[in-house]
Structure 1
């Protein structure tokens, strides 16, 4: 029987080179949980792991089990704990080196990821693509037939911008980059189900962001140009579950900063 999303704790093959192990950490921000991607070319014995997930002993041990501890490299899409919390335990179990955009998460390497670099491991050629916006350090990884997008593009719903360092200006550029590179490549997100083609999902995200910007502009017209983020959330997200308003506030804050920086 072919596995479908979600499948907790079970390695689910998605493409010829990519399989996913879903962490059991569902939530409003993580959807069904964090997707840990397990990559290798056919016939190879070693693996590349992308995002070891949260600090969860059971999940870390499952990654070590399905890879038989033979991890050539672990890559990190961005700094959030549901992606990085499992690093130390996975290193302890397997000795894997770890690379990320920021030095904080490096293990067994002093080389942070560089935009456009090609990583060769487990028989694969993986291109690192800077895609800031969700966070400043967000990186996507391009395979021959797929793109791992981290939280920049999800498998369902839309992405929250972390206003502590994510910006809408960066995010719109990142979406354009992913729409261009994603044509004909599968979408392998860090949360939610995979999709056979990234480009239409990226185009939807671009349209959605511009629609939200129009709604925020209209809210400012009614509320006044100095309205705060939560006042805008109450108006624009009135039909959304109030439990999601705090997350929406972060994205709205990023939108307000974008509009106030770009308006005449």
Structure 2
């Protein structure tokens, strides 16, 4: 899949990793980039930077009506980046109710699946195209301190595999990015070394070009996968100890 001349759509594209993806696409020669944001005003800086190549869309992936409207407005998309995510920092048992876990699943799983369903016809019309799902090392190993977020990323990873199989016949590449700790607002509660969003986006574009199924984007993701393979029970115990920690640290 060539990025140059492509038309991309990035959900949650107004900040963090999504914002970095938008800039990376423009730098790589994309013909157009749609920025999905719950409030399009928050993407005005990218529209101004884009020299006419960036279009802001009102898009809350937890709302099927907005997904449908986006698919109707952006029929020329050839690359879809499902980056929008929700992390509400509540526990599964300790929370007062399940509203946080339901919202995390609605955004991180159902929103991802809904976007893939809505844009599959456009990708087919573009000759197959590509989907990139921005996931998490919390989708490789269960992190009790992340409550409903980690299970939702497990679900998103499983869905990525299913969607890859379903869309193989139309030539659509479906990649999962396994992301560790990145310097974004969502990871503000995490202490220690964090990766730059620009580096995650750069690796994401490489995954598109290569048609990679799954890529660990940074050192933390690589270490989590290695520790899981080496001693899964020890890693489970380490994750459980985070429940009693005052802060979450990358250990670096």
- TM-score computed with the length of structure 2 as normaliser: 0.42
- TM-score computed with the length of structure 1 as normaliser: 0.40
Larger radius of gyration, structure 1 or 2? 1
Going by fraction, where is helix more abundant, 1 or 2? 2
